[in-house]
């Protein structure tokens, strides 16, 4: 293969089901997300399908933290976000059972407090389940975002990122060893100041419509 533009054949290797879209000038736009979803929709082969055409082994998208979108959404909830890089966003999968869900939330809150982190609030992620298979719906979690303030004494973003990584592991292990398990359980899809992940037990085509957030960013 011939090197062209940013492509270098030296780094060529097989990879199944991954697409990447970026603006080389670091300009943010909704078009980047829309193009990424179009790539995903054209890789319907990227994962296994179940007995239903609208249940798969999972599809998702990782995006740069959409600060303006989160700022506007959090204002509606009475949460005032600090500037970008001064807070982290976690995408949490909670059990449907309200008692298990709140038990997981309490432990997550205590874990953050133990590590000296302040939780500013939670936001429920809106979903559209019209075209989702029954198998996927049977294990669909309650998806929420948690917003965590960067402590004043942490001045370097990478130090804050490491702190969030520690929280993710600590809370996950504590909840796994404490809360009764059901078919859904607790899972941290992402926890970062830089990126956020949206995903579900879907095939690639329904993702854009299942998660209105990624259509609106």
Residues marked active site are found at: 16
Tokens linked to 157: 């973003």
∠ CA 211-73-165 to the nearest 5 degrees?
75
160: closest CA among 115, 205, 201?
A: 115
């Amino acid at each position: 293969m011939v090197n062209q533009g940013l492509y270098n054949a030296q780094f060529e290797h097989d990879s199944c089901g991954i697409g990447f879209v970026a603006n080389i000038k670091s300009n943010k736009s909704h078009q980047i997300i829309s193009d990424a979803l179009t790539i995903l929709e054209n890789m319907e082969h990227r994962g296994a399908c179940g007995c239903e055409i609208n249940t798969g082994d999972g599809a998702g998208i990782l995006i740069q933290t959409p600060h303006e979108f989160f700022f506007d959404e959090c204002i509606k909830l009475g949460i005032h976000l600090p500037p970008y890089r001064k807070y982290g966003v976690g995408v949490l999968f909670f059990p449907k059972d309200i008692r298990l869900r709140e038990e997981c939330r309490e432990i997550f809150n205590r874990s953050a407090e133990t590590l000296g982190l302040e939780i500013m609030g939670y936001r429920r992620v809106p979903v559209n389940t019209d075209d989702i298979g029954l198998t996927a719906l049977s294990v669909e979690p309650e998806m929420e975002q948690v917003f965590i303030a960067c402590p004043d004494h942490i001045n370097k973003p990478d130090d804050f990122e490491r702190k969030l990584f520690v929280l993710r592991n600590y809370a996950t292990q504590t909840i796994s060893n404490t809360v009764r398990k059901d078919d859904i359980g607790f899972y941290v899809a992402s926890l970062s100041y830089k990126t956020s992940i949206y995903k579900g037990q879907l095939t690639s085509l329904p993702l854009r419509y299942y998660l209105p957030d990624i259509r609106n960013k």
